[in-house]
A = this chain, B = another copy of it.
Amino acid sequence: AIFEAVTTHFTSNSENKQLDQKLAGHQVLITAGPTREPLDPVRYLTNRSSGKMGYAIAEAAQKMGADVVLVSGPTNLDCPDQISCIRVETAEEMLKAVSAEASKSTIFISAAAVADYRLKEVATKKMKKQGSSLHLELEQNPDILATTSKANPDLFTVGFAAETNDVIEYAMGKLKRKQLNMIVANQVGGGKGFDKDSNQVDILTDGGDHISLPETSKQQLAFDILDVVCQFYSKDQSNKS
């Protein structure tokens, strides 16, 4: 009976399950953090993404046996062990790095909070105060997720939707519009999401599934999300064959 209890303990131990090498043989490409869009050499537009969720997914994927390439915007986080990190600043630089890695990857997880817009003209010198008001002209950044998904139809592509409101509705629209296999939806603002250590997410798939994961640390959530990714990746592969 003691032996049985020990066996049960070990097989139900989540740390143990996580260390199943479910992602062995995979190259997983992950983006994390914000991007910075410069106005001039000292000023820039950015967002509150800390990179914690993307870095946690990168570490978890590596522990699950994957070769991991992490393309990261500016964060305060160190590159995790045994992961290949590429540091970028702007959305344009991130797209270049992602495009170079995507064709070698089987799974792409876009956890970065890429700036939708950049300045139309970036000043080469620090701008001087010019009067009581200032107009900034912005133009759309390239859509890294949609571009990569469309250019690599065999890549299993996972997006994130961080929203302050109508989270599921926006996430569903993004999943379809950007031709993703899966989207991870989470609430931000009001003390949730960005720059926090825990998170609660809903996962939607292109097959119409909706999985609600319980609130937990970003470290544990990373393993939980990757478990769902593995499950639907296999389903996707068997549908294709």
Contacts and interface: CB of A to CB of B under 8 A. Distances in A.
Chain copies in the assembled complex: 2
A162 B46 CA distance: 21
Contacts of A113: 42
Nearest to A113: B42
Interface stretch (A20-28, A91-99, A129-137, A206-214): A129-137
Interface size class of A (residues with CB under 8 A): 35 or more
A136 B135 contact: yes
A46 B43 contact: yes
Interface in A27-81: 39-49, 76
Most buried by B among A40, A41, A125: A41
The 4 A-B pairs with the shortest beta carbon distances in the complex, nearest first, are A41-B189, A136-B136, A134-B138, A126-B164
17 contacts: A39-B45, A40-B164, A41-B164, A41-B188, A42-B188, A42-B189, A42-B194, A43-B48, A44-B48, A117-B134, A126-B162, A126-B188, A128-B170, A132-B139, A133-B137, A134-B139, A135-B138
Interface of A: 39-49, 76, 113, 115-117, 120, 125-126, 128-129, 131-140, 162-165, 170, 188-190, 194
Given A39-B45, A44-B46, A134-B137, 5 more contacts: A41-B188, A41-B190, A76-B76, A134-B138, A135-B137
